[in-house]
Structures are given as structure tokens and as C-alpha cells.
Amino acid sequence: MQDLDKLNLEEYLNKLGFDEDTTEMIMSYSVNDIDKEVLHEKIKYLISLGLDPRRIRIVIEEDMTFVTEEMAVIVKNGEFLKGYLNPEELLDTLEVTPELLTVKEGYIEENIRLLNLIVTDKEVLKMLILDRGELLTFKPKYLSEKLSYLIEKGLKDKLIKILIEEIEIFDLDNDEIDLDYLRKI
């Protein structure tokens, strides 16, 4: 069998079993040879993480910055997550929150450190990452300020439940948050 690394991007995708629609969609992101080469390397990296064609399509479609982000950022974030989550958790997390691969360097690590202050059970923290991975994409300063605000308002004991069930509050300004509702959950 021909060495996959020597194939052009389109042939590579076909050999891996990507359907025609997915191949066309991926090819539409690469307008010149340099784009194709870089995208080829990124797809090879996703495969090395264990992603199948369906999940690769999700990453590319759901996170438009994946195509333009530096390879070094994608690898650094991917390797950090790979070291933190088991292979199945990694696949599930990237399917739900593909932008974790392209979030600014250091955000994931810093946000996990912040969440570790609140969530002491490692399994609960993994569950948060799996279900609410977008928490790790916030600017750490923003996440810290939002968590501090909720603690100051007497919601420390409710934080895990808020993180799991009411994640939308992180998109609101503090004065828009219904604190009475959160105290009742």
C-alpha cells in the first residue's frame, strides 16, 4: 500500500475513509498548496489523538479557527488534554468542545487550576470538562472573576451544580444573574 504521508490531502482523506462530502468540505478550507500541507498535518495530528472521520469533521466544522490556528497551539492543547483525560474521555470532550484545541495557550491549564480550587473530586472535574468544556475556553481572569462573584454572593456550596446545570450564567453580566433562582437550585 502506498505510504499515506506521500499522498496529497484529497487522496489521503479518501484512503482514510472520509466520504465525498466531508472530503469536499475539508478541501474547501485549503485554497493553495501551503494551506493543504498545513491542513494535512493537522488532520494527521487529529488522527494521532484517535479521532475518526466523523469527529474530525466536527472539529473542522464547529471550530472555524482550527484551520487558521498555529499547529503548535493545537498540539500543545491536545497533548495537555491527552495527559489529563483517558483516550475515550478525550474523544468525547473534543466532540462536544472542539475549540479546546485552539484556545489561547495556557487557558486550559489555568482554568483547570481554578476549577481545582472549587472541585476537589477529580472525577467530578473530569465530568465537568466532558460536559462543560467551554469553561476551559474562557479567559482565566474572566472565569476567576465570575467564580469569585458567585462565592461572594453566598453560592459557594452551589457552584458545582451551577457549573453543571446553569452554565449559561457565565454569558451574563453579573447584574443580569438571578441570584435568588441560583440559591434555590
Predicted confidence (pLDDT) per residue in 57-67, tens digit: 999 999 989 99
Mean pLDDT to the nearest integer, 83-88: 92
Taking phi first (over 0 means left), then psi (-120 to 50 degrees means alpha), and beta for anything else, what does residue 179 get?
Answer: alpha
pLDDT > 90 in the chain, percent? 61
Mean pLDDT to the nearest integer, 7-30: 86
What is the per-residue pLDDT for 27? 87
What is the tens place of the pLDDT at every residue in 103-119? 999 999 999 999 988 88
Q: Whole-angstrom Cα distance, residue 147 to residue 170?
A: 9
What is the per-residue pLDDT for 5? 63
What is the per-residue pLDDT for 4? 60
Domain ranges of the chain: 1-104, 106-185
Q: How confident is the model at residue 13 (pLDDT cuts 50, 70, 90)?
A: confident
Mean pLDDT to the nearest integer, 24-47: 90
User: What's this model's pTM, rounded to 2 decimal places?
Assistant: 0.84
Are residues 55 and 95 in contact, defined by beta-carbon separation less than 8 angstroms? yes
Mean pLDDT to the nearest integer, 14-37: 87
